[in-house]
Structure 1
Amino acid sequence: MAADRLVVGATGGPGEDIDGTAGALDAVEVKQLSRLRRWGTVGALLLMLGAGSSYGAATPIPNPVDGLRILGLLSRIGPAALACSYAGIGLIVLCWVLIGRLAAPGRPRRLSRSQLSHTLAMWAVPLLVTPPLFSRDVYSYLAIGSMMSHGFNPYESGPYDTLGDADPYAHQVDVRWQHTASPYGPVYLLIAQGVVSLAQQNVIVGVLLQRLVELVGVALIVWALPRLARICGFDPVAALWLGALNPLVLFHLIGGGHNEALMLGAMLAGLVIALERSMIGGVVLITLGVGIKATAAMTLAFLVIMLALRAGGRWRDLVRCGLQVGVVAALTFAAFTAVAGVGFGWVAALGAPGTVRSFLSVSTSLGVISGQAGLLLGLGDHTQAVLDVMQPVGTLIGAGIAVAIMWQCWQRRINPIMGLGMAMGAFVLLAPVIQPWYLLWAALPLAVSTADPRVRTAAVWLTVLFSVTIMPNGATIPVFVIVQAVIVAAVVVGGVSYGLRRAGLPSARVEPVPEP
C-alpha cells in the first residue's frame, strides 16, 4: 500500500527508476539534451537582457541603468525589452517541456540527476543578477527588514506609513502593499532584518542578498525532492524535472526572489529529516517554514499522520505523535516569536493578500461574476459584498477538502505526501488570492509522489499557463505593447521549435509505470 511504501522507503541509483531499470542516455539523446540546454540558456539570457527595462522586470525607481551606454539601451525601448523577456520565457518553457521527455517515468533511458542539476544551474545563473522578476515583492521584504531595523513593528502598519517616502526600500514597494501590515511570520521578519542590516540603504545590494537567501531554499528543494521520491517509491529524476527544473521555480523563486523558496525548502527538507533521521529536527525545520509563511503548517498535520502510520496506525499512535509534533512546533515557534519581539500580529494580517482581486482564484472569480450579473440585472453593484461571502466560503471548502484528504491518508488509501500536494492544491485554488508561484505548493509534493499521467500532465499544463499569465515587471503594460511582444516571441519560439524538430526531438515513448 502507499502508506506501507512510505514507511519502509526505497532505494535507487541516480538517473534510474526506483527499481534501477533505466539506463543512461545514448549519444543521440545526449546531443538532443545539449541542444535543449543551450536554447534554454539563450532564453534565460534574453530574460536577463529584457530585465534592463521597466517593462522587462520590476526595476528599482529610478532605474539604475538609465543613461548608461549599452546597458541603458533597452531601458529606453520598453516594447523591445518586453519582446526579449517573452521570447526568453517561451524558450525556457519549450525546452523544459521537451527535456521532460528524457525524464519521463518508465522511459528505458533517462538523463541522470547530475545532468538535470547542471541544466538547472545553466538556466538559473543569468537570473541571479537581474532586478526582481514578475513582482515587486522583494522590495516589500526589504522594507519589512528596514522597519525591523528601525524598531518598528511590521504587524501594526504598512512600510510607507512608517518609513515614509525617503526610505529607499519603502519607496520601491508596490502601491498595493505600501499601507498593508506584513502577513509573514516572525522567522522571516528576522531574516529580512538581517538582509537589510548587511545591505544598509543600498537597494541593489539588498535585492541580490535577498535572492541569495532564497537560493538556500532552492538548494533545500533540490536536496529534498529525490529523497522524498525514494521514500514514496517514486523515481527521483522525474521528481526533480517536474519540481526543481520547473519554470515557476526559475521565474519566481530564483528570478523573483520570493520567500516561498525558503518556506518550501524548509517544508520538504523537514519531511525528509523527520522521516529518515530525527522527528524533532524535522519538526523544527518545518516550523521554521511556518514562521516564514503560515501555509506550511498543513505539512505538520500530514507529518503526524505519516509518523502515526509508521508507529502502527492506531488511534493512540495518532494522538501520541500529534502531541509530540505539536509540543516541538509550539516551542520552536514561541522561541522565534520571542526573539523577533513583535507578537502575533501576523495572524490578523493573513487576509491582507486577499484585498487584491485574483482572477485565478475560483472563489474570487465566482464572486466577481456574480457581482457583474447583479449589475446586468439592475440590482446594483454588490461585487464586494458577494466577495466578502464567497472568499471565506472558498477558504472553508478548501480546508474541508484538506481534512477529507487527511482522513483518506489515515485510512491508507492515499500516500500522505501525495495527499499533502492534493490538499495544498485544493486550498490554493479556493483561496481568495492565487499568484502563479502558489502552484508550487501543490506541484512539489505531487512531483515526488505520483506517476499518474493525468496528474503530471495537468501539472505541466498549469505550469505552462501560469508561466505566461503575469507580466515580467509584475505591473500593468499597455495591451498593444503586450500583443506586439507576444507576436515577436511566438515567431522566435516557433522558429526555434521548428529547428529543434528538424534536428531531432527526444522520443516521447515510455513504458507504463505502476502507481507507487
Structure 2
Amino acid sequence: MATTTDPAPDAPSLGQDPGTPAEASPAVDGVRGGSPFPYRTIAMGTIGSLLLLLGALGAAGILIRDPVIGAGPLSWLRYGHGRMLANAVLYGGFALVVWAWVRLGRYMLAGRIGSKPILVAAACWMGPLIISPPLFTRDVFSYLGQGAQLLHGLNPYAHGPAELTILPNVVQNVHPVWQTTPAPYGPLFLLVAKGIVAVTGDNVIAGVIVTRLVLLVGLGAMVWALPRLVRHLGGKVPIAMWLAVASPMTVIHLVGGPHNDLLMIGALTVGVLAALERKHVLAVALVTVGMLIKPTAAIALPFLVWVWVNHLPGDNRMRNLVKAGAASLGIFAVVFVAGTWVSLGSVNLGWVTGLKAPQLVTNWLNPSTGIGQIVYTVVHLVVNVPESPFVTVARLFSWLALAVFFVRQWWKARFGGNEAIFRMAMTLLATAILAPPTLPWYLTWGFVVAAAFPWRRRHLAIVVAVAIFLVMAYYPTGEQALYDWWFVAVTIAFGLYAAASLLRPDPLGLVGAWQRQRAGSAAASTGTVAEGGQVPAR
C-alpha cells in the first residue's frame, strides 16, 4: 500500500513533551521484563464489564415490564437501597474498566505491547455488554420503535412510535420525549431497525441484543480500516486502537449503549481509506451510505472532493474541481436515491425534517445552549422571562460560527491528502460540539478518524479525562447528569486523576504512601527500625 505525504502540519504528534523525562518502561502486569501480554489488566477490565452488566440489571435502561427480574425475588435491586447498591456496582465496574484502559495505555506508550493485546482487551470488555440492558442511554428503544413503525406500514418521519397500536413492549419502553417525535435517523438505518424487529418482534431484550450484534459490523469495519488509515496518516496502530476501539466511549457508549453511530463510523472510516487509496467512487458511495444511517456523515463529502481533485492529472485545479465535484454529486445522487427507495419504498425526503428532533435536547454540554442558559439565569434574576428565546438566539450564533468554521476548514483542505482528512475530522468534531444538541457519543464521529494521526502524550491524557466525563455526563438510566453539580465535580476529579495516571502511575502518591505506612506498621510490630529512625526499604 502506498503511503501518502507527511501528516497534516496542524495534526498533533506523538512524542514526549519538551522537558519531560523519558518514562521508564514499566513491568507488564507487575512482572518487569516478563510476559508482553497484559493478562491481569485485561482481566481487570473484564471484571469491570461484568460488574457493569450486573449493576445495569437494577440501575441502567431497564424495561417497564421486565421478564428477567420483574416482580421476582431480585426486584429489590430497582428500589431504594437495592437501587443504590446496583448503582454502586455499576460505577465500580466502570472504574475498573477505566483503570484497565489507563494501564493498557501506559504499557502501550512504553512500547511494551502492540495492537493485538488492545484488541483482545476491547473484545473481552465488550463481551459482557452485548447482553446488558442499555447503558447510559435509552436510544435503542427508539430504534426498535421506529423500526416497528416502518415494519407495520407507518411513516416514522411523520409521527412517533406512540401511534403504533401493536408491539406494546417495544412502544412503552421508548423514552417519553421520543414517543411522539419523528425519527431523526437516515432511512437505511430504519431499514436495519425494521429487519431487527421483524426477527425479534415484541421481545425487547432480544431486540437490544440483536441491535448490538448488527452494529458490530460497523466496529469490524472500523477495526479493519484503522491500521490502513494509520499508514496514510502517520500515526501508530496501537495508539489508534487504544483511542478508537478500547476507549470507554466505544466500549460503553457505542456498544454498551448501543448507538447507531457505530454503523455510520464504520462506513465513514472505510470511505476515507478508499479516498486515500484513489478509489473515489467507492469512497463517495460509502460515505453516502453512512449519511443514510446518520445524516452528519455528509459533512465528510466536500472534503473527499478535494482529495479526488488532487489525485486527478493536470494543473488546472478549477477544471479538476468541476470534474471531481460533478462526479461526486452524481455518485451521491444515485446512492442517495437508491438507498432511500430501498428503505422507504419511495424517494421520501420527509426524513430530512426529522433532523430537527434532537434539538429538543437542551444541556450545557452544547456550549451555545449553556451560554443561553447562563444569560437567561442572570436576566431572570431581574425579570420573569422564559428560557427558550435565550437558548434559541445563542444556538443561532453557534450555527453561524459552525458555518464559518466549515467553510474555512474546507478551503484549507484544498491541497487534499492528509491535510484534507485532518480538516474533515476537525469539522466533524466541531459539528458535534457546536451544532445543537451535543450528545456525548457524537464526538466519536471525527475522533475515530483523528485517532489515526500522530498524537502527543499530553493530548492522550486529555482524551482520557474527556472520555470519562462524556460517559458520566449521563446517568446509567439515560437521563442527563449535567445539572447535578456535585456529581459533575466528582466526575471531573476522577477524570483528571485518570488522565494524570496515564503519564505517571499513582500521580498523588496514594499507593506509595499506603505501602510506606504498611511497611512502617510491619517494622514497628517486629521492633525493627533502621538507623536514624527510618523504616528500612522493602
**TM-score bracket for the superposition, by shorter chain length:** 0.7 to 0.9
Q: CA deviation at 1:60?
A: 1.3
The range that moved more, 322-331 or 414-423, is: 414-423
Cα deviation code 1:165-217 (max 9, x no counterpart): 86221111001111100111111111111111111221111111111111111
* Compared CA separation, residues 3 and 323, structure 1 to 2 (3 A): farther
Q: CA deviation at 1:386?
A: 1.7
Structure-2 residue corresponding to 1:60: 63
Q: Does 2:339 align with 1:332?
A: no
Give matches, 1:312-331, under 5 Å. Answer: 314-331=317-334
Q: CA deviation at 1:455?
A: 4.2
Structure-2 residue corresponding to 1:514: none
The range that moved more, 151-160 or 93-102, is: 93-102
Q: Does 2:247 align with 1:262?
A: no
For 1:268, give the aligned amino acid: T
Query: Which of 369, 372, 375 is 2:380 aligned to?
Result: 375
Query: Which of 456, 461, 475 is 2:479 aligned to?
Result: 475
* Compared CA separation, residues 136 and 67, structure 1 to 2 (3 A): closer
Tell me, yes or no, if the aligned pair for 1:447 and 1:456 is still in contact at 8 Å: no
Q: CA deviation at 1:89?
A: 1.1
Q: CA deviation at 1:24?
A: 13
Tell me, yes or no, if the aligned pair for 2:136 and 2:471 is still in contact at 8 Å: no
Give matches, 1:119-268, under 5 Å. Answer: 119-160=121-162, 162-164=163-165, 167-268=168-269
Cα deviation code 1:424-472 (max 9, x no counterpart): 1212211111111112113212111232445434333211211222111
1:181 aligns to what SS in structure 2? coil
The range that moved more, 314-323 or 247-256, is: 314-323
Q: CA deviation at 1:277?
A: 6.3
Q: TM-score, normalised on structure 2?
A: 0.81
Q: CA deviation at 1:416?
A: 2.0
Cα deviation code 1:474-506 (max 9, x no counterpart): 1378x99x97xx89x98xx99x97679999xxx
For 2:357, give the aligned amino acid: A
For 2:445, give the aligned amino acid: W
Q: Distance in 2 between matches of 1:267 and 1:241?
A: 19
Q: Considering Cα pairs closer than 8 Å and 6+ residues apart, tell me whether 1 or 2 has the greater RCO.
A: 1
Query: Which of 383, 389, 392 is 2:396 aligned to?
Result: 392
The range that moved more, 267-276 or 307-316, is: 307-316
Identity of aligned residues (%): 35
Give matches, 1:491-502, under 5 Å. Answer: none
Cα deviation code 1:303-359 (max 9, x no counterpart): 112222233672322222222122111110101111223611121111111112122
Structure-2 residue corresponding to 1:271: 272
Structure-2 residue corresponding to 1:426: 430
For 2:88, give the aligned amino acid: A
1:351 aligns to what SS in structure 2? helix
Tell me, yes or no, if the aligned pair for 2:130 and 2:256 is still in contact at 8 Å: yes
Tell me, yes or no, if the aligned pair for 2:56 and 2:133 is still in contact at 8 Å: yes
Q: CA deviation at 1:403?
A: 1.9
Structure-2 residue corresponding to 1:308: 309
* Compared CA separation, residues 244 and 181, structure 1 to 2 (3 A): same
Tell me, yes or no, if the aligned pair for 1:395 and 1:427 is still in contact at 8 Å: no
Q: Distance in 2 between matches of 1:305 and 1:413?
A: 8
* Compared CA separation, residues 78 and 476, structure 1 to 2 (3 A): farther
Tell me, yes or no, if the aligned pair for 2:7 and 2:419 is still in contact at 8 Å: yes
1:169 aligns to what SS in structure 2? helix
Give matches, 1:322-471, under 5 Å. Answer: 322-339=325-342, 340-341=344-345, 343-378=348-383, 380-411=384-415, 415-453=419-457, 455-471=459-475
Cα deviation code 1:268-305 (max 9, x no counterpart): 01212333263222222211110011110011122112
Tell me, yes or no, if the aligned pair for 1:364 and 1:387 is still in contact at 8 Å: yes
Q: CA deviation at 1:97?
A: 2.0
Q: CA deviation at 1:72?
A: 5.1
* Compared CA separation, residues 164 and 390, structure 1 to 2 (3 A): farther
Cα deviation code 1:411-433 (max 9, x no counterpart): 56972222122111212211111
Q: CA deviation at 1:222?
A: 1.2
Tell me, yes or no, if the aligned pair for 1:408 and 1:414 is still in contact at 8 Å: no
* Compared CA separation, residues 111 and 455, structure 1 to 2 (3 A): same
For 1:163, give the aligned amino acid: L
Q: Gapped runs of 5+ residues in structure 1?
A: 8-22, 504-516
| Number of matched pairs | 473
Q: CA deviation at 1:125?
A: 0.5
For 2:455, give the aligned amino acid: A
Q: Distance in 1 between matches of 2:126 and 2:173?
A: 25
1:153 aligns to what SS in structure 2? coil
For 1:296, give the aligned amino acid: A
* Compared CA separation, residues 24 and 320, structure 1 to 2 (3 A): farther
Q: Distance in 1 between matches of 2:124 and 2:239?
A: 19
Structure-2 residue corresponding to 1:48: 53
1:176 aligns to what SS in structure 2? helix
Q: Distance in 1 between matches of 2:26 and 2:307?
A: 34
Q: Distance in 1 between matches of 2:413 and 2:296?
A: 19
Q: Does 2:37 align with 1:36?
A: no
Q: CA deviation at 1:32?
A: 8.0
The range that moved more, 170-179 or 407-416, is: 407-416
2:153 aligns to what SS in structure 1? coil
Q: CA deviation at 1:232?
A: 0.8
Tell me, yes or no, if the aligned pair for 2:136 and 2:477 is still in contact at 8 Å: yes
The structure whose Rg is larger is 2
Give matches, 1:12-27, under 5 Å. Answer: none
Tell me, yes or no, if the aligned pair for 2:309 and 2:416 is still in contact at 8 Å: no
Query: Which of 84, 93, 97 is 1:92 aligned to?
Result: 97
Q: Distance in 2 between matches of 1:501 and 1:277?
A: 57
For 1:367, give the aligned amino acid: G
Q: Gapped runs of 5+ residues in structure 2?
A: 9-24, 499-504, 516-538
